[in-house]
Amino acid sequence: MSGLIGKKIGMTSIFDKNGKNIPCTVLEVGPCVVTQVKTIAIDGYNAIQLGFNEKSEKRATNAVIGHFKKANTTPKKKLVEFQNFEEEYKLGDIITVAHFKEGEFVDVSATSKGKGFQGVVKRHGFAGVGQATHGQHNRLRAPGSIGAASYPARVFKGMRMAGQMGNEKVKVQNLYVLKVNTQKNLLVLKGCVPGHKNSYVIIQK
């Protein structure tokens, strides 16, 4: 799917023509530079590599600097490959937020916020077991039994238990494009997008 790289600015809300308040997310999308064009003859598949967000040359290796010099551009912090672009692009071409149109639907993938080690109530939505009275001590948010003793005498794989929550790649599909601001490279989407503020997001048609 064709798409662009962006950065999450934050959430806000806007009113539609009927006066309904719509929660939305503001993304800074592009401009992205074509830093590499891959072909079936050389790489075995067709794709273009896009770069986003400036990176200081002091923090880039000579190999990285040479890679971007082929595209006649400065080093970039974020690189992502996209396939099945409708248009054909050459090295050094710049793609802006105008690639998207108001009224269409997009998919957004990003790394969700890390929540650390969490229990089953927060991680999986358990209600908690036991009562708060009759001598109950400290088992209100416990998961309960995770398996029988004689059979199966083990804990099944995939059992919902406490553990690391968040900090994983998440894709939200079919987000409605409310506004496209080409002057400020802003994209306003209906609903929420995974990740914290200033985190990188990948927007696909």
DSSP bridge partners of 24? 12, 190
pLDDT value for 130 = 66
% the chain with pLDDT above 90: 79
Q: What is the DSSP letter of 100?
A: S
**Confidence at residue 84, expressed as pLDDT on a 0 to 100 scale:** 84
- The answer to whether residue 62 scores a pLDDT higher than 90 is yes
Q: Which residue has the higher pLDDT, 17 or 7?
A: 7
Rounded to whole angstroms, what are the CA distances from 62 to 36, 70, 98, 153, 160?
17, 13, 33, 57, 47
Q: How confident is the model at residue 36 (pLDDT cuts 50, 70, 90)?
A: very high
Architecture of the structural domain at 3-115+169-204: Beta Barrel (2.40)
| Residues 27, 97: Cα–Cα separation, whole Å | 10
CA–CA distance, 189 with 179 (Å, rounded to integer): 7
Q: Domain spans of the chain?
A: 3-115+169-204, 116-165
138: alpha, beta or left? (left if phi > 0; alpha if psi -120 to 50): alpha
Q: Indicate the average pLDDT of the chain.
A: 92
Q: What is the mean pLDDT of residues 149-173?
A: 94
- Which residue is it, tokens 């290796």? 61
User: Residue by residue, what is the 3-state secondary structure of 108-174?
Assistant: EEEECCCCEEECHHHHHCCCCCCCCCCCCCCCCCCCCCCCCCCCCCCCCCCCCCCEEECCCEEEEEE
Percent residues over pLDDT 70 in the chain: 99
pLDDT per position as a tens digit, 119-146: 999 999 998 776 777 877 778 888 888 9
123's CB contacts (< 8 A; 6+ apart) are: 115, 160, 162, 163, 165
State the pLDDT at residue 20. Answer: 94
Q: Summarize the confidence of residues 93-119 as an average pLDDT.
A: 95
User: Cβ–Cβ contacts within 10 Å for residue 3, how many?
Assistant: 25
pLDDT at 145: 87
